[in-house]
Structure 1
Amino acid sequence: MSENLTGGALIGPSAQLPAEPPPPSKWHDTFLRITQGNAIISVLAVVLALLVGGVMIAFTDEDVQTASGYFFARPFDTISAVWNAVSGAYIALFQGSIYNFGAPTFERGIRPLTETLTFATPLIAAGLGVSLAFRIGMFNIGGRGQMLMASAAAGWVAFSLDLPFGIHLAVALLAGLAAGAIWAGIAGALKAWTGAHEVIVTIMLNYVAFYLLSFMLRTPGLLQAPGSSNPKTPPMKETAVLPDLLGPQYNLHFGFVLVILATVLVWWILSRSSLGFKFRAVGENPNAARVAGINVKNMYIYGMLIAGALIGLAGVNQVLGTITTGFSSDIDAGIGFDAITVALLGRSTPWGTFAAGILFGAFKAGGFAMQAAEQIPIEIVAVVQALIVLFIAAPPLVRTIFGLPSPERDQKRQRKARAKQLQAEARTVVK
């Protein structure tokens, strides 16, 4: 045997290196991909929020409070009251958002599902706008202002112009998209040209849009209905209203088809286009993107223009699809801020945002049913939505509660195992 530089003998030809550990099985690898992915965290965040919501429902229920007064004498009464309160609330939530099993006909039974999709339509559109901005590394919380400006533009075209059916709707739609894009583009341009933080700019633009719309609603000749002193617009003309999808007995309109097309478009932009690649590169590391030759300033402007147009689509849906009898300054209905929650739950992906929008639409539709059938405070639904965001923002907490493996821990374990293997090889080789 030959000697190494330290005087140790090198391994002989008959010696064997330690066997490498067997690779993980296909099922183990699949399990790790599922439990360490973002989708499972979103699902479990919803489950945890519903569990906490159930606790709040039980504590606020009068029967539970009464039965808990003699808990030690008859504990099963309290348990039964808790079960009845929580199960009744969530059954009402399901029947108010998915399918009403007590309806006399199938057409009446699926009405809750159509209401869910109707509520979800503007949430999906606005959520896509927020998600797209997230992918560029921008926090767009100006959804309210962008919706208000889009509503004002689309509404003015819808009630003031006389155009043929189809053309009138298209012009009103384009006016709303353009107004939302321009309003968001202001924030993008200020970010690109002056370095102004988009959070501050969009917050201020929300106030500007609200007070500007309030002024126009109180000014004859702009948005205020002729001959009225109320800050409200005239009704939209029928030629500019989004057509019904399933007939006049349902509120679901063509806007839902538009948000499906918008979701496909955003998916294509982010996944299949060079513009989407530049968006993602800027969002990951703007300095590296700049070195690679990408015009970061232009990406900020283009991204906010597209995001504003998507949020503008939400405003158009409110004006031309839901509230066609005229609108006031509360037309946004909090959707601009709810869109941030939808985008976070959807992990800033197009189809994740689509699914999250439907979920929150179900919460809105079912929340009213819970309140009517079980006298559950509607604020509990809002608390559940806030808890979803809280749990999504704390993945380690969710993994700890459900005992899921941590990606960092698994990677550290693999590095330690590899280090031990290399040390064993080195001890065998150098003796």
Structure 2
Amino acid sequence: MSAPLDLPKWADTVLVPAISVVAAFLVAGLVVLSIGENPLTATRHLLQGSLGTGEGLGFTLFYMTDFIFVGLAVAVAYHAGLFNIGGEGQATLAGLGIALVLNNLTFLPGFLLIPLGILGAAAFGAAWAAVPGYLQAKRGSHIVITTIMFNWLASVLIVYLLVNVLREPQSMNPETRAFPEQAYIPFMHDIFAAFGVEIPASQLNLTLVLALAASYFIWLLIYRSRLGYAIRVVGSNPTAAVYAGISPARIIILFAGALDGLFRRAVAHLFARQKLARA
């Protein structure tokens, strides 16, 4: 068996992602072509809708914020040697944590309520991720299987809670009551307007800045801290980690699970919405 190919840094950073994007467009183009449509026309509409207008760009960045948080969560777990695909369920529970905090601590000012909401999302997402982590670390179950199962459990749980527990009695919609106004994170178009700059209105808000700051924090954590080193050692060689005095089970349950809960997509935009509702 041949040794793995060691690519130059520039190729690993630029060339491989570029080839991946081109390959994705080619495969998608073949799918579009197979249903009798023009792939070039579909690509033009895709780019115009997402990047061709100020409003479209704002919504693209808004949804990109989601993927930044999810990517960070998956990256931390991946460095610990875990392939966690339970993001949907963990995001659902993180959103539940936000809703419970915001709707039960309405007497607090925004500068306290917003951080507490983020902590609530982290706690609920981490608790949901910690169970598959525990089963992997202590019982030998496969985290891919358990996280898939927990996605369905979270879906059933949130439907039950929104319909039977959290729903306002006079409403037929499966959603919580409106979040307090002091918990809303400002929209970017409102912030720019305060400085005399007009940009198209969209759902893009200050959580994009939080996502970028979180990206830098995760880089520092993984590559510039003792904890990050322990996570990478466990992911690279759990046996060597044990000899170095690092507990793989502790890393899996406490660190990877907690960080995964912290950066769930619910943190990205639920503060910009009035309610938590079942899509």
**C-alpha distance in 2 between matches for 1:52 and 1:200:** 28
What displacement does 1:157 show?
2.2
What displacement does 1:129 show?
0.7
**C-alpha distance in 1 between matches for 2:140 and 2:39:** 50
- The counterpart of 2:95, out of the listed 151, 156, 180, is 151
Is residue 2:101 matched to residue 1:133?
no
**C-alpha distance in 2 between matches for 1:143 and 1:60:** 31
Query: Paired residue for 1:142?
Result: 86
Query: Paired residue for 2:119?
Result: 174
**C-alpha distance in 2 between matches for 1:37 and 1:112:** 31
Is residue 2:218 matched to residue 1:266?
yes
**Change in 2 beyond 3 A, CA 1:171/1:50:** same
CA RMSD, Structure 1 to Structure 2 (Å): 2.1
**C-alpha distance in 1 between matches for 2:261 and 2:172:** 32
TM-score of the two chains, using structure 2 as the length reference: 0.85
- The counterpart of 1:94, out of the listed 47, 52, 58, is 47
**C-alpha distance in 1 between matches for 2:75 and 2:268:** 19
Q: Deviations over 1:374-404 (max 9, x none)?
A: xxxxxxxxxxxxxxxxxxxxxxxxxxxxxxx
**Change in 2 beyond 3 A, CA 1:243/1:199:** same
Query: Paired residue for 1:307?
Result: 260
SS at match of 1:37: helix
Query: Paired residue for 1:328?
Result: 277
**Change in 2 beyond 3 A, CA 1:204/1:53:** closer
Moved over 4 A (4+): none
**Change in 2 beyond 3 A, CA 1:229/1:115:** closer
SS at match of 1:158: helix
Is residue 2:207 matched to residue 1:255?
yes
Contact 2:77/2:84 (CA < 8 Å) preserved in 1? yes
- Amino acid of the structure 1 residue aligned with 2:32: I
What displacement does 1:152 show?
0.8
What displacement does 1:194 show?
2.6
**C-alpha distance in 1 between matches for 2:251 and 2:177:** 39
Contact 2:207/2:269 (CA < 8 Å) preserved in 1? no
- Amino acid of the structure 1 residue aligned with 2:83: F
Structure 1 window deviating more from structure 2 (198-207 vs 34-43): it is 34-43
**C-alpha distance in 2 between matches for 1:35 and 1:178:** 38
SS at match of 1:218: helix
What displacement does 1:259 show?
0.9
Say which one has the larger Rg: 1
**Change in 2 beyond 3 A, CA 1:156/1:255:** same
What displacement does 1:268 show?
0.6
**Mapping of residues 343-422 of structure 1, within 5 Å:** none
TM-score of the two chains, using structure 1 as the length reference: 0.57
Structure 1 window deviating more from structure 2 (298-307 vs 33-42): it is 33-42
**Change in 2 beyond 3 A, CA 1:144/1:86:** closer
Contact 1:151/1:318 (CA < 8 Å) preserved in 2? no
Query: Paired residue for 2:172?
Result: 229
What displacement does 1:148 show?
0.7
Is residue 2:11 matched to residue 1:57?
no
- The counterpart of 1:115, out of the listed 52, 55, 59, is 59
What displacement does 1:172 show?
1.5
Is residue 2:244 matched to residue 1:295?
no
**C-alpha distance in 1 between matches for 2:151 and 2:24:** 30
**Change in 2 beyond 3 A, CA 1:211/1:53:** closer
SS at match of 2:188: coil
**C-alpha distance in 2 between matches for 1:132 and 1:229:** 40
Query: Paired residue for 2:268?
Result: 317
> Which structure 1 segments of 5+ residues have no match?
1-31, 63-84, 101-109, 331-431
**Change in 2 beyond 3 A, CA 1:227/1:160:** farther
Contact 2:211/2:268 (CA < 8 Å) preserved in 1? no
What displacement does 1:36 show?
5.4
